[in-house]
């Protein structure tokens, strides 16, 4: 599949699957805004050379948060895209705290491209903690989230200095906004 077709197909598929989802923050942005931001971050970090990774960024929450099965991503896209999405998908059968602990423990073991994707995801989430935090989160809850993101991020370093700089900026912004 041609790269432009792949990426626009991923965008359309993700927009449809997440059409009823909003971000947790007070601005209640459409969820697809987050997917677009993560996709742009990985595209910039890889200088537009990894179309499968950009498609995976658009699709990164489809297995975890929508009715999408991995096999469907293989059929509609390709096995590399499906594998990348799986690599950044939490096991939702586990309790929330276990999933959070596993993200910290597993981060250093991820493939280079999955690390890029996760780092972009965390960067986007930290930016939104600064710009539009969830209304029901108190300072302690936000601090907890920032500390956890920082731990996950530490395990994702060493793959892309530009993206790591964006992550560090987002971390600092989130801290400042407390």
Q: Nearer to Zn ion by C-beta: 87 or 121?
A: 121
| Type and span of the H or E element at 166 | helix 161-176
Q: How far apart are the two ends of the chain, measured CA to CA in Å?
A: 45
The window from 3-11, 108-116, 119-127, 154-162 that contacts Zn ion (CB under 5 A) reads: 119-127
Catalytic residue among 64, 72, 80, 169: 64
Q: Select the span of 118-126, 142-150, 157-165, 169-177 touching Zn ion (CB under 5 A).
A: 118-126
Please choose, from the candidates 100, 132, 109, the residue with its C-alpha nearest in 3D space to the C-alpha of residue 24.
132
Catalytic-residue membership of 101: no
What distance in Å separates the CA atoms of residue 178 and residue 173, rounded to the nearest whole number? 9
Q: Which positions from 62 to 101 touch Zn ion by CB under 5 A, shown as an x/- string?
A: ----------------------------------------
| 22: β partners | 30
Annotation marks residue 64 as catalytic:
yes
Identify which of 29, 28, 35, 45 has the alpha carbon closest to the alpha carbon of residue 12. 35
Least Cβ distance, residue 34 to Zn ion (angstroms): 6
Site for Zn ion in 10-29 (CB under 5 A): none
Per 3-state DSSP, what percentage of the chain is helix, strand, and coil (rounded to 5)?
70, 0, 30
Q: Which stretch binds Zn ion (CB under 5 A): 47-55, 56-64, 73-81, 99-107?
A: 56-64
Task: Rule CB under 5 A: say whether 121 interacts with Zn ion.
Answer: yes
Closest CA to 106 of 157, 152, 160, 167: 152
Cβ closest to Zn ion, residue 51 vs residue 58 = 58
Q: Which residues bind Zn ion (CB under 5 A)?
A: 61, 121
Residues known to be catalytic: 64-65
């Amino acid at each position: 599949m041609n790269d432009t077709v792949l990426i626009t197909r991923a965008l359309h598929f993700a927009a449809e699957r997440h059409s009823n989802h909003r971000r947790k923050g007070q601005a209640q942005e459409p969820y697809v805004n987050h997917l677009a931001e993560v996709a742009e971050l990985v595209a910039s970090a890889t200088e537009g050379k990894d179309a499968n990774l950009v498609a995976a960024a658009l699709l990164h929450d489809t297995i975890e948060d929508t009715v999408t099965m991995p096999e469907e991503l293989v059929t509609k896209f390709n096995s590399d895209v499906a594998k990348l999405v799986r690599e950044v998908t939490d096991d939702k059968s586990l309790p929330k705290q276990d999933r959070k602990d596993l993200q910290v423990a597993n981060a250093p073991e991820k493939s280079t491209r999955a690390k890029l994707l996760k780092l972009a995801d965390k960067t986007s989430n930290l930016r939104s903690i600064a710009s539009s935090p969830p209304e029901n989160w108190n300072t302690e809850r936000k601090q907890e989230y920032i500390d956890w993101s920082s731990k996950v991020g530490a395990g994702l370093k060493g793959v892309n200095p530009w993206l790591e700089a964006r992550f560090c900026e987002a971390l600092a912004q989130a801290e400042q906004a407390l």
